[in-house]
Structure 1
Amino acid sequence: MKWIIYFFTFLSFGLNSQSQETALLPKINGPRLYGARPGKIFTYTIPATGAEPLKYEVLNLPKGVKVNKKNGVISGVIKAPGEYVINLVAQNQFGKTSKSFTLVIGDKLALTPPMGWSSWYSFGRNVTLDKVIRSAQIMKEKGLQKYGWSVIEIDDPWTNQPAKNDPIWEKLKLKADGVYGYYEGPDNLPERVGSVRNSKGELIPNKFFTNIKKFPAIMHEMGFKAGIYSSPGPLTCGGVAGSYGYEFVDAKFFADSGFDYLKYDWCSYGSLAKNNSKEELIKPFRLMSDALQAQKRDIVHALCQYGMGNVWEWGNESGGQLWRTEGDVHDSWQSVRNAFKKLSDKAVYVKPGNWNDPDILQIGAVGAQSSGKAGKNHLTFEEQRTVMSMWCMLSAPLLIGADMEQLDDATLSLLTNEEIIAVNQDALGKAASLVKTSDNTEFWTKEMEDGSLVLGLLNLSNEERNVKFPFSFLQLDGSQKLRNLWTKVDLGTFKDEFETAIPAHGIVMLQLRKSN
């Protein structure tokens, strides 16, 4: 009996050593392409894992673009439209690797879903610039950047709130019947009350964000992109100053400061909209999109309007690249389940530069939007794995909501599986659809650029179950090669069906390839 134990101990040690050795080697992650507009400033950080220090090189860079060999940031301006094929190189003391990469210079941004972090579920209304910068530092220290997590977004409330006697509070009480509008105040943020714009018409940051203009440069130096928040209304949801009437001023302020991403939240604009028509819903977002496109740098425009008017049908007409399809999601099974189930039949509206957004990932320590401080997640670990899986299957934007100060190894493992992230970042840009429901199990499929099929087997029951997957459910014939993407294990070749155990509210993600 002892020799069996010794054999498996030796085998396990060998596999662990091999795994550790592989982890030391450089590996370039992320999508195979990136979109920018002609004549606009853009940045892209090469996401690469491996033992530090890593050195970067890019071959065949077009004129006007450079690479920082220490942090892998590609930046510059390309004037002529076209597809520029370059070669990314990462090297350390253990080896060297390369990857073909295409800069697509045209009229589309966000050719793959944006990835990053947002302050809202971490800090809510208690957000400060120092907290955001510290969160970015932890993300870098923990290696999240190496997997493509790049946007650091300051959410509500970073500007000042108008005084209680400001006439805007009375004006906003007058609104059309049936039009949704939400804002807080005037008494909810006493420490953030003050003048809202300077003599140039620029937004004045509140006392917790006095160095807001320096924030993008700090992020860029760290290899991140800088994200910011505003509203098309006079007030944000939290009740501080928005962009109404100053859209071009604010767009210039964001671009001149160096921001790369704008979350634009409907909020108090509901008091100004005439009705719920498509034209009225598009109007404020189109105005800001035009203002952003007139600036010197690319800024991704993220619409936040909770799915009103079937936004997935017309979001691209607004000039934005992604749009919220639901109200705020929370760390409960029913909330996240409703968010992704709503998108089960809307894959037709998803393509590169057009992303349905079910909201920020409910993974890790969240909940600050309600309590003021992030805490224990009310989803089980398996439910959180399902959230990550379904957001990736749906080609949804991936914005981490977790408080980085409370980041644990379990949460980190959900955010650093490059094979799962690759499903989200696939260049084909298709979203998964629900193709079959059988015996309390949902079968979701997503087509990949390489011709493979990703299948999500989702157990809706409250207990672990063995699930059979007959290939006939997907009209597949012959034998199929299966790979488990979470465990990164090739399962072998199967004929006719596959069976596996799935935890309660858990998911198994498989990549299928037809066997020759």
Structure 2
Amino acid sequence: MKTVPTLLISAGLLLGANASAQKFDNLATTPQMGWNSWNKFACNIDEKLIRETADAMVRISMKDAGYEYVNIDDCWHGKRDKNGNIQPDPERFPSGMKALADYVHAKGLKLGIYSDAGATTCGGRPGSRGHEYQDAITYAAWGVDYVKYDWCDTKGLNAAAAYTTMRDAIRSAGRPMLFSMCEWGDNKPWEWGADIGHSWRTTGDIYPCWDCEINHGSWSAFGVLRILDKQAGLRKHAGPGHWNDMDMMEVGMGMTEDEDRAHFSIWAMMASPLISGNDLRSMPESTRKILTNKDVIAINQDKLGVQAWKFLSEGTLELWAKPLANNEWALMILNRGAGAISYKVDWKKHKISDDLSKRELDINKTAYRWTDAWTGKTGDTGKALDLTIASHSVAMLHLKAK
């Protein structure tokens, strides 16, 4: 495949020194949606998988539902050439990344790629440390639209500085690329990341379980509820163009259907990026229906961009609220427990006020019609709503003023 000319790299380095130090605007104005290879395939990836996944995203209507990024995670890398230009693995990606990007773009989708702030990636491939501008120019020449930037092998690095360097490199390359910072929340990226990336991971890796922690010695993976609980206090940092990223989703990866629906609902309410991690080519219809539920996706993609918060806990039952544009609201009733729970929503009992958005939900002042995002049932706030919430499940209601 063609390499990026050394002259172009030098020009990029010079441009980088003078480029306006800012990320590309008008990306991730709502949380990004797409697919990532890691959760299901880890290092077992090749260009055939990526092409077939792009085909599937169109065929099963995920593209129509709003998913647009097809993201290649770790282990796509080959070696650097004599000029230091990163090459894809020639056996796994024999056609090259430019051809793969062209294929994905022809489907009306966008291609994402992975690198790391250290000298090596988490999978032991070449990282971008010392090659940031060179790699960004290479990605731009390939037609990449999304860069996920990990945090392995980074001893001695300052996180904010390392991510700023890659942000500036992407900017200097001249191609708008969404910058997804995967720093695991170790250095509180929510406090400094809004001007650097379009999203930042808030926790360690996800694991397909409801409420667990898998200890790997020096790091842990977390289940759905553990990740949810780690979002406390972070909502004020999220908004259009800069999101708290709760990690790729594990929908369709071994949990129950109720747990998958709850998982998807939680990510939607929390305005987290919706990046699926399952095999799109062969998933059952039940999983496809969860991932393409347009009512739930609309709540995630709401233009107001306000993250939900928990306003009430009653044992294992939690009530969450998310202000939406046009004076609309989303409510989620979450059953964390092992048994089904009957619950009466007494609309007039609680006035919900949000200090962050300065929004108020007061049924005594404004009447609303509600739609259940999962069942399609409708009603209004003129009378109480009786619900039965299954174990490890949710009810999700979209309220519009009458």
Give me the TM-score of the superposition, normalised by structure 1: 0.67
Shift in Å at residue 331 of structure 1?
Answer: 0.6
The one of 304, 311, 316 equivalent to 1:435 is: 311
Contact 1:445 1:453 in 2 (8 A): yes
Match status 1:307 vs 2:185: yes
Q: What is the letter of the counterpart of residue 112 of structure 1?
A: T
Can you list the C-alpha shifts for 1:169-215, whole angstroms capped at 9, x where unaligned? xxxxxxxxxxxxxxxxxxxxxxxxxxx21133210211212322211
Can you list the C-alpha shifts for 1:333-352, whole angstroms capped at 9, x where unaligned? 01111112221432111110
CA distance in 2, matches of 1:295, 1:114: 21
Q: Equivalent residues in 2 for 1:328-477 (5 A)?
A: 328-334=205-211, 335-364=223-252, 366=253, 377=254, 379-471=255-347, 472-475=349-352, 476-477=362-363
The equivalent residue for 2:14 is: none
Match status 1:116 vs 2:34: yes
Shift in Å at residue 489 of structure 1?
Answer: 2.7
CA distance in 2, matches of 1:341, 1:494: 33
CA distance in 2, matches of 1:299, 1:124: 23
CA distance in 2, matches of 1:512, 1:144: 25
The equivalent residue for 2:397 is: 510
CA distance in 2, matches of 1:480, 1:287: 48
The equivalent residue for 1:34 is: none
The equivalent residue for 1:258 is: 143
CA distance in 2, matches of 1:407, 1:477: 41
Match status 1:204 vs 2:82: no
The equivalent residue for 1:326 is: 203
Q: Equivalent residues in 2 for 1:163-178 (5 A)?
A: none
The equivalent residue for 2:160 is: 282
Contact 2:334 2:392 in 1 (8 A): yes
Unaligned runs of 5+ in 1: 1-105, 161-195, 274-279, 367-376
User: Whose relative contact order is higher, 1 or 2, with alpha carbons under 8 Å and at least 6 apart?
Assistant: 2
Unaligned runs of 5+ in 2: 1-23, 212-222, 353-361
Can you list the C-alpha shifts for 1:42-100, whole angstroms capped at 9, x where unaligned? xxxxxxxxxxxxxxxxxxxxxxxxxxxxxxxxxxxxxxxxxxxxxxxxxxxxxxxxxxx
Give the count of matched residue pairs: 355
Contact 2:185 2:202 in 1 (8 A): yes
Give me the TM-score of the superposition, normalised by structure 2: 0.85
Tell me: CA distance 1:464–1:345, structure 2 relative to 1, closer, same or farther (3 Å).
same
Match status 1:236 vs 2:142: no
- Runs of 4+ in structure 1 displaced over 4 angstroms? none
Can you list the C-alpha shifts for 1:221-275, whole angstroms capped at 9, x where unaligned? 0111000000011100000111110100000000111000000001111x232xx
Contact 2:327 2:401 in 1 (8 A): no
CA distance in 2, matches of 1:340, 1:130: 35
> Kindly, what percent of the aligned residue pairs are identical?
32
The equivalent residue for 2:156 is: 272
Q: Which has the larger radius of gyration?
A: 1
The one of 222, 226, 251 equivalent to 2:107 is: 222
The equivalent residue for 2:17 is: none
Q: Secondary structure at the match of 2:397?
A: strand
Shift in Å at residue 493 of structure 1?
Answer: 3.8
The equivalent residue for 1:494 is: 382
Shift in Å at residue 486 of structure 1?
Answer: 1.5
Can you list the C-alpha shifts for 1:295-317, whole angstroms capped at 9, x where unaligned? 22210000001111222222114
Say what the alpha-carbon RMSD is for the aligned residues: 1.6
CA distance in 2, matches of 1:213, 1:456: 43
Shift in Å at residue 218 of structure 1?
Answer: 0.8
